[in-house]
Chain A
Amino acid sequence: MASPSENTQSGLMAKAVKEGIFAGAIAFGMFLLYVGIETYQDIDNRLVWRTRWGLLAIFVLVAAVGRFLTVGFIKPHIDRRKLAKAKSGVLEISEDKGFFHKHFLKIALIALLLYPIGSVMLFGPQGSLKYVDNFGIQILIYVMLAWGLNIVVGLAGLLDLGYVAFYAVGAYSYALLSANFGLSFWILLPLAGILAAMWGIILGFPVLRLRGDYLAIVTLAFGEIIRLVLINWTDVTQGTFGISGIAKASVFGIWSFDVGSPNYFPRAMGLATSSAWYKIFLFYVILALCLVTAYVTIRLRRMPIGRAWEALREDEIACRSLGINTVATKLTAFATGAMFGGFAGSFFATRQGFVSPESFVFLESAVILAIVVLGGMGSLTGIAIAAVVMVGGTELLREMEFLKLIFGPDFTPELYRMLLFGLAMIIVMLFKPRGFVGSREPTAFLRERKAVSGSFTKEGHG
């Protein structure tokens, strides 16, 4: 079988060129209409079109060159490295992880706690807003939502495409109850969670017998129903106008963040008047909520109900014959997941000060689900990484002013958000088909928790 190496080398190059041209042709076909031609309205409000051959050429070139490099250089390189590793007998997971690896969670937690302080020190209160609010809080909200959905999808294996409904229930619960009854955030937060959990059970009942694609479609419809109710029940929800002027969260009822209030928090602390302090406070609130979610998830996985969720994902029939009540198991999964969605929703409402049905469209469900899948269903760490990459990445796009120099002044990077989102997903799924952290952490051990040898727990691709 061994052929001369220069022979395979030239064969490889020929193949790389061929595949590169092929990829270019496909990209040309795909983007010809989307990118090559643009429609716009002229001064007389007529719809006319113009061509963008330059941009199209860039797309085609990127695809062709990318494919060429992948086939010709990157893939052989990776294969060679894998081969060398296999030859030297090093296991994929080595026993002695680096310091960073071992203490990753502690380091991450400390970094998160110091993050707002660091950004205030570096950029001043006003300058820190962007980092604390746009990046910090935004990402943490998605971490929390994805961790909540993870209970339903990642642990219990119930594909839920309408998760945003519970987010909406939480947000509107807070908005309406605080506006109509003047209740505080700290009372309404648990209440919003409970209300969302109730809706989780209400959704759970009719879909108990459904699985997989059927379940996905019904949950999708449920998400849309909630949104349409919010739009059309104008007496209560004010429809598409949304509800504004939602009360801010207080510091446990002791200090407030309303400038007019006598116990205005920054004044009490002797800080300059700035909206940044409120955002920093909110950052710690959502961080705490995330930690609660993680803690509860980790605890539940070691309790009968959590084990039952995971067993349900693996094999429902086996579960039943082992004496597991699958009805109760599914309902608790829906309810628990929904509850965290509700928490996140009421937090979202107090952070924005405004809610409208537009925040709860299907795309949100899809993004949250994508984060769960990318992270590796079930893995909290993986999901957090995925949230940072996906949400942080899209926020970063807004910052990329320099792209205008390349693509012209009309280029708005945010519009390519979804394109990049999809691209990132494809790339991750190609190289890590089980998500960032694809292996499941076992929860049962005999005697003390010993380090499980890596070669056994590493799963094959399936």
Chain B
Amino acid sequence: MNTVIVGASAGLGRAIAERLAADGHALYLIASDAQDIEALVADLGIRFSIKVSGESLDHLQAGGGNLVGAGSVSSSRGRRTNSVYAAAKSGLETYFAAMRHYMAGSRCRVQFYRLGYIQTRMTFGQRLMFPALKPEQGADAIVKNLGRDLGAVYLPWWWWGITTIIRFLPWPIFKRLNI
């Protein structure tokens, strides 16, 4: 299987790249800093003897595959603390919903994750209200699901409960919360 990973140099993307490399898949890794990509391409190529290159998209071949989007639980309800991020993730989710519709019937699976906290640079040093997943655990779950027609799902699943509560909190209460 050929996989392009956008945002492969760090955090969850890097863990997914490693997990797929361990399974022998050919990879194309993309991020904005060439040095990080070079180092990761070298590492995965040497350790797992896979076909791996970075940065450029042109080798991507048509035909079956997976398109996996990383969303966030933060888009479940607009909050004052991270308006732009949540709005962007909502937009991305809608885009992925459209892609899934577009690809229905093809061999390409489109999946979208509403991710909870993950222990990466994004959450480093922050005090979190709920336990954070290790990138490797996230990668494991995502890779296991490849090939399935999933739609949009929560990872970890129990964020479904938390976001549902937040979504249905009555406005008089919600407006007072600093979350």
* Chains A and B come from one and the same complex: no
List A residues at the B interface (Cβ < 8 Å): none
List B residues at the A interface (Cβ < 8 Å): none
